A and B are shown apart, each in its own frame.
Chain A
Amino acid sequence: MKLIQLISKTISRCPDNVAVIQGAQGWTYGELGHQTLQVAARLSDAGVRMGDRAVIWLDNSASYIATYLAILECGAVIVAAHARSTALDVLKIIQDVEAKALITTEAAWSLNGEALEKSGLRSVLLPQETLSLRDGMPREMAPEELAQIVYTSGTTGSPKGVMLSHDNLVANTRSILASLKIQASDAVAAVLPFVFVYGNSVMLTHLAAGAKIVIADSLLYPMMTVDSMRMENVTGFSGVASNYAFLLRHTDFDSAHLPALRYFTSAGGPMPAELLKKVRGAFPRSEFHVMYGQTEATARITMLPPGDLERYSASAGLPVAGVTVEILRTDGERALPRETGEITIMGPSVMLGYWRDAAASAKVLKDGRLYTGDLGYMDERGYLYITGRNSEMIKSGAFRVSPSEIEEVLFQHPDVYEAGVIGTEDELLGEMLVAAVVPKPDRQISMKAVLAHCARRLPPYKRPKAIHLVKELPKSENGKVLRQKLRGLVKSLRENRQRDEQLTARPARFSPHS
C-alpha cells in the first residue's frame, strides 16, 4: 500500500475529526485533505512530477503536514530540511537530491533567497499564498518505490540521505499503531521535529488513526506547551529524554495538570532510570513505552511494553511487529543468548539505502539485513539490551550530530589548525557539544571568533556550546583523534577554569542547567 492511500482512507473515514491544532487554529481531516489537494495542484503547476524530489523547509505546522501529503499525492519524493537549518545546509540538500521545488515560508525566503537562487531550483512555493483548487494527481507509484529521503548525520561528516519507501513508512506506521493502540479519540503533542523519523512517525501514526495532532513546536516556551496540552486534552506525548527533563523542571508536568495523558514514548537515546522514575511518579496511571530505533529502520525497532518496565528495566524491549532482530558475532554467526554482538535487523521497515551512495549502503545493507552499528545482546526471552554504540554520533536533545561534520566546519576557519568535537554529559540535553580547537602556529584566535564562525554556518543545535583552545589534540598513532582522551582533557580544562573563576571571585555566568 502506498502511504498516501493510508492517510486518504482516514480523510474519507472521519472528515469531521480535528486533524491539526496550531495555536488558536484548527483543521479537520476534511480541511486537511482539501488543503493537500490545493498544494498538490500548485506543485503540479510548478512542474513537480512522479519521482521528482521536493524539499520542505518549514517548522512543524499544518502547512508542513499538508505539503508532506501533497508531495505524496503527486507521486513525488519528500525531502525535509529542519526549519532551523542554515540556507547553506538547505542548499546542499537541494543540490544533492536535484530538487524540483522548495516549499518554505516567505520569511525564510526573504532572508535566504539570494543564496538559494544559486541552486537552480525550478520553483519555490510559499504555503501562505492563496491556492487554486484542482483535482488530485494520478497515483500510480509502486509501494516499494521511494517516498521520502530523510537526512541524517553520518559518522564520516556530510549528512546521508536515508531512502524510505512507501512500504517502509506504512509498515512502521502500522506496527506503532498496533503497539500504542492509538485511536481516533487520541490527541498527541507534537514537540519533535517532523523532519526526523521519530517526529515523522508520530505524525504519520496519528494521521493514520484519525487522531488529533497538537502542534507544540519545540519547547522554547515550555509552559505554553503544557497549557496547549491541557486545553486540547492531549492523551499522548512522545519525546527524547531531554524533553522530559526540561518539562519536569520548568512546568507543572504531572497528572494533576494533564489528567488525559494516557501514554508516553521515549526514543532517540537512553532514558536515564532516575528521569524515568520521576516521569512515572508524576504520571502514576499512564503507560510509558521505552523504544529503540534508527532512521535506517524507518524509526522503531524495539519497544519495551509498559508492564515490563520494572522487570526488564535495562532492556530496550521486544521487536515491534514485523521486525526481526538478530545479534551477530564478528565472524557473522548468530550470537547466543546474552552474548554481545552487532544488532542487525530484517523486515519491511529496513531502508532502501542511502541516496546516491552505493558504497555506504553496501556497508550497512548485507544479506537482506540492516547492520545498525550498535552493540547489544538478547536474553532468552528475546528482550534486547543495548551495550554500546559503534558510531561516534552525539545525541544532543532531539538531535543526532556528527562530530566530524562540526569539525569540518571548524577547519574552515582560517586560523584553526585542527579541532576535535565531543559530547559531554548534560543534565538537560543528554549530551552537549564541546569543541577543542588548536590554533595555527603564530595565530591569535578567540573563542568568540570561533563561536561566531560556527553561528554563521550551523543551526543552533549543531553549534558547540563551549570552545576550549588547546595546544594539541590527543591522537592515535595513525593520527585519529582519540575522543575518549579528549573527553578527559576537556573535563580537566573545565575544572581548571571553574577553579580559576572561584579564585578570582568572578561572578559565575548563568548556567541554564544549574
Chain B
Amino acid sequence: MEATTRAIRKFVIDNFLFGEDGDHLADNDSFMGRGIVDSTGILELVGFIQDAFAIVIEDHELIPQNLDSIASVARFVHTKKVSGLTAAP
C-alpha cells in the first residue's frame, strides 16, 4: 500500500498543488477542508485512479470516505483491488 500512497501523493501534488507545498500535505488532510480540489478536480482524481490502478469507480463510490484524502484514496484502491481479486474466478 506504500507504493499506492506514494503514487497518489505524487498525482495530487503534481496536479493540484503543482509540485509545491507537498511537505505540508499530510496523508490524512482533507482535500475538501484544505480547498485542494473542486468538483472537476475530483473527476480528474477519479480518472487517474482508474488509469493508474486499473479499477473502475462507480458513481455511487464518489464519496468523501473514498476520495477526500491521500490515505482514504489509498485505502479505497486497496479495497477495490482486493475485492476484484476475490471476485475473480
Give A residues with C-beta under 8 Å from B. Answer: 83-84, 107, 111, 218-224, 246, 250-251, 397, 428-429, 448-449, 451-452, 455-456, 459-461, 465, 507, 510-513
Is A220 in contact with B37, judged by CB distance below 8 angstroms?
A: yes
List A contacts of B36 (CB < 8 A). 460
List A contacts of B62 (CB < 8 A). 221-224, 250
Which A-B residue pairs are the 3 nearest by beta carbons?
A510-B47, A512-B43, A452-B18
Is A452 in contact with B17, judged by CB distance below 8 angstroms?
A: yes
Is B51 in contact with A83, judged by CB distance below 8 angstroms?
A: no
Determine whether B33 belongs to the interface, using a CB cutoff of 8 Å to chain A. Answer: yes
Known contacts A222-B59, A224-B63, A459-B35, then 10 further A-B pairs from the complex at CB < 8 Å, ordered by chain A residue: A218-B38, A221-B63, A250-B62, A448-B19, A455-B17, A510-B47, A510-B50, A511-B47, A512-B40, A513-B40
Chain B nearest Cβ from A66, distance in angstroms: 21
Is A512 in contact with B47, judged by CB distance below 8 angstroms?
A: yes
Cα–Cα distance between A309 and B83 once the two chains are bound (Å): 49
Q: How many residues of B contact A (CB 8 A)?
A: 30
List B contacts of A223 (CB < 8 A). 59-60, 62-63
Count, A-B residue pairs, CB within 8 A: 71
Q: Which residue of A lies closest to B64 (CB)?
A: A221
List A contacts of B63 (CB < 8 A). 221, 223-224
Q: Which residue of A lies closest to B43 (CB)?
A: A512
Is B35 in contact with A220, judged by CB distance below 8 angstroms?
A: no
Chain B nearest Cβ from A129, distance in angstroms: 18
Q: List 9 interface pairs A-B (beta carbons < 8 Å), by A numbering.
A: A220-B39, A221-B62, A224-B64, A455-B18, A460-B36, A460-B38, A510-B48, A512-B43, A513-B40
Q: Which residue of B lies closest to A83 (CB)?
A: B35
Cα–Cα distance between A55 and B89 once the two chains are bound (Å): 59
Within 8-32 of B, Cβ neighbours of A (below 8 Å) are at 14, 16-20, 32
Within 35-89 of B, Cβ neighbours of A (below 8 Å) are at 35-44, 46-48, 50-51, 59-60, 62-64, 67
List B contacts of A513 (CB < 8 A). 40
Question: Provided the pairs A223-B62, A250-B62, A511-B47 are in contact, do residues A460 and B18 lie with their beta carbons within 8 angstroms?
Answer: no
Cα–Cα distance between A84 and B32 once the two chains are bound (Å): 9
Question: Provided the pairs A223-B59, A455-B17 are in contact, do residues A429 and B35 lie with their beta carbons within 8 angstroms?
Answer: no
Is B32 in contact with A220, judged by CB distance below 8 angstroms?
A: yes
Is A448 in contact with B42, judged by CB distance below 8 angstroms?
A: no
Which of B14, B35, B51, B67 is close to A510, meaning CB atoms less than 8 Å apart?
Answer: B51
Question: Provided the pairs A452-B18, A456-B20, A510-B44 are in contact, do residues A251 and B35 lie with their beta carbons within 8 angstroms?
Answer: no
Chain B nearest Cβ from A423, distance in angstroms: 14
Question: Provided the pairs A222-B62, A250-B59, A512-B44 are in contact, do residues A461 and B38 lie with their beta carbons within 8 angstroms?
Answer: yes
Is A455 in contact with B20, judged by CB distance below 8 angstroms?
A: yes
Is B40 in contact with A455, judged by CB distance below 8 angstroms?
A: no
Q: Which residue of B lies closest to A449 (CB)?
A: B18
Is B20 in contact with A465, judged by CB distance below 8 angstroms?
A: no
List B contacts of A429 (CB < 8 A). 40
Cα–Cα distance between A452 and B47 once the two chains are bound (Å): 21
Chain B nearest Cβ from A231, distance in angstroms: 15
Q: Which residue of B lies closest to A453 (CB)?
A: B18
List A contacts of B33 (CB < 8 A). 107
Cα–Cα distance between A107 and B17 once the two chains are bound (Å): 19
Cα–Cα distance between A224 and B59 once the two chains are bound (Å): 10
List B contacts of A452 (CB < 8 A). 17-20
List B contacts of A507 (CB < 8 A). 51
Chain B nearest Cβ from A228, distance in angstroms: 12
List A contacts of B40 (CB < 8 A). 428-429, 465, 512-513
Chain A nearest Cβ from B74, distance in angstroms: 18
Cα–Cα distance between A429 and B67 once the two chains are bound (Å): 21
Is A251 in contact with B59, judged by CB distance below 8 angstroms?
A: yes
List B contacts of A465 (CB < 8 A). 40
Q: Which residue of B lies closest to A447 (CB)?
A: B18
Cα–Cα distance between A246 and B17 once the two chains are bound (Å): 24
Cα–Cα distance between A476 and B10 once the two chains are bound (Å): 43
List A contacts of B43 (CB < 8 A). 512
List A contacts of B35 (CB < 8 A). 83-84, 459-460
